[in-house]
Amino acid sequence: MATLICGSLAFDTIMSFEGRFAQQILPEQLHILNVSFLVPSLRRDFGGCAGNIAYAMRQLGGTPLPMAAVGNDGAGYLRRFEELGISTEFVRRIDDSYTAQAMIMTDRDNNQITAFHPGAMMQAHCNRVAARDDIRLGIVAPDGRDAMLEHAEQFHAAGIPFVFDPGQGLPMFDGAELARFVELASWVAVNDYEGRMLCDRMGVELAELSRRVRGLIVTLGGDGCEIWEQGERRHVPAVPAAQVVDPTGCGDAWRGALLHGLEQGWDLARCAALGNRLGALKIAQRGPQNYSVDAGVLALA
C-alpha cells in the first residue's frame, strides 16, 4: 500500500545563532525593527514537508508517493529520491522557477525565524489526486494555497482518507475554509500553537474539533503529544532524545511515523508513540533528512 504525500519540496538553508533572539529584540521598538544576527554555522539541506515526510516513511519501510513541484534547480533533489527508492512520478518540474527555499535561523533555545520563498510550489495545484488501487492513504501538508484546497477536495472525491496537516500554511485560510478541510479529512495533525489558531478561527474547542474527525493529534514538542478521539483526550509521553541538536523537520518525521502506523491499521496511541520516537531520533541530527532508523525503533512499535 502506498501513501500520497501532498506538500512542498524545498531546499533548507539552516543557520545557527549562538545567542537568544529574545535578547536582541526590544519589544517597545518593534515598529522600527532592524536587527542582524551573526550565524557562524550554515548548511543547506533537502527539505520541504513532502520531502521530509516521504523520507521518514521510507526510513520506516513504507512506500511514500510525494506529490509536489520543483524548479529548474531541482534535479539533485529528484536524484536523491531515486537513490532512496522514493518514486518521483508525482513530482512536477517547473522550468521557469526555482525550487522553494526556506532560510531557517535557530537560536540557542531552539526558537526559529524562517523566511520562505515558495517558487515552484505555487504551481503545485497543477498536480491532480486521483483514485488508484495502490493508494489507500494521503496527507495534505503545507503547500501552495490552491494546491491544499484542491488536493483536499480531490482526496475526498477519490475516496482516499487523508490527514489534514495545515502547519505553516494555516494562516492562509479563514474559518470557513478550515472547517471545510476538517469536514473532508479523516485526521487532523497540528502542533499546540497551530491547534489554538485552528480552534480560534473555527470557533471551536479541541474536544469539539475531535468529534468531527476520526482523530486529532496535537504535538507538544518535548512534552510528547495529545491524541483526541470523540472528545476524549489522551497524553502520549515524549521519548528523551540522546541530544538536542536541530529541531528542523521534527514535526515532519512525526507525521511520517503517523502515516506509517495508519497504513498498518494501528490505533492513534501506537502511531503517536512511534512518532515521538522518530522525533527524538531526528532532533539529535542536523537537517531534516539526515537521521536513520534501525530495526530497534520498529521493534518497539
Q: What is the pTM of this model?
A: 0.90
pLDDT at res. 145: 96
Task: Give the C-alpha distances (Å, rounded to integers) separating 107 from 17, 20, 25, 39, 243.
Answer: 5, 5, 13, 9, 16
SS3 289: coil
Name the residues annotated as catalytic: 252
Residue 71 lies in a domain: yes
Average pLDDT over residues 278-298: 87
First CA to last CA distance, the chain = 19
Count the neighbouring beta carbons within 10 Å of the beta carbon of residue 211.
Answer: 14
Count the neighbouring beta carbons within 10 Å of the beta carbon of residue 164.
Answer: 25
pLDDT at res. 34: 87
Task: Give the C-alpha distances (Å, rounded to integers) separating 212 from 139, 207, 215, 278.
Answer: 17, 9, 8, 28
Residue 119 lies in a domain: yes
Q: What is the DSSP letter of 132?
A: -
pLDDT digit string (tens) for 242-275? 999 888 899 999 999 999 999 999 999 999 999 9
Inform me whether the pLDDT recorded for 26 exceeds 90: no
pLDDT digit string (tens) for 124-159? 999 999 999 999 999 999 999 999 999 999 999 999
Q: What's the structural domain count of the chain?
A: 1
**Exposed / middle / buried, residue 245 (Cβ in 10 Å: 0-12, 13-18, 19+):** middle
Q: Scanning the structure block, which residue is given the C-alpha cell 502542533?
A: 191
Residue 300 lies in a domain: no
Task: Say which amino acid occupies 103.
Answer: M
Name the residue range of residue 165's domain.
Answer: 2-22+38-292
Average pLDDT over residues 162-179: 97
Mean residue pLDDT of the chain comes to: 94
CATH number, domain at 274?
Answer: 3.40.1190.20
Inform me whether the pLDDT recorded for 296 exceeds 90: no
The candidate with the shortest Cα–Cα distance to 258, out of 126, 124, 165, 130, is 165
Inform me whether the pLDDT recorded for 211 exceeds 80: yes
pLDDT digit string (tens) for 15-24? 999 999 989 8
pLDDT digit string (tens) for 186-210? 999 999 999 999 999 999 999 999 9
pLDDT at res. 299: 60
Q: Quote the percentage of the chain above a pLDDT of 70.
A: 98
Inform me whether the pLDDT recorded for 111 exceeds 90: no
pLDDT at res. 300: 62
Asked whether the beta carbons of 7 and 68 are under 8 A apart, the reply is yes
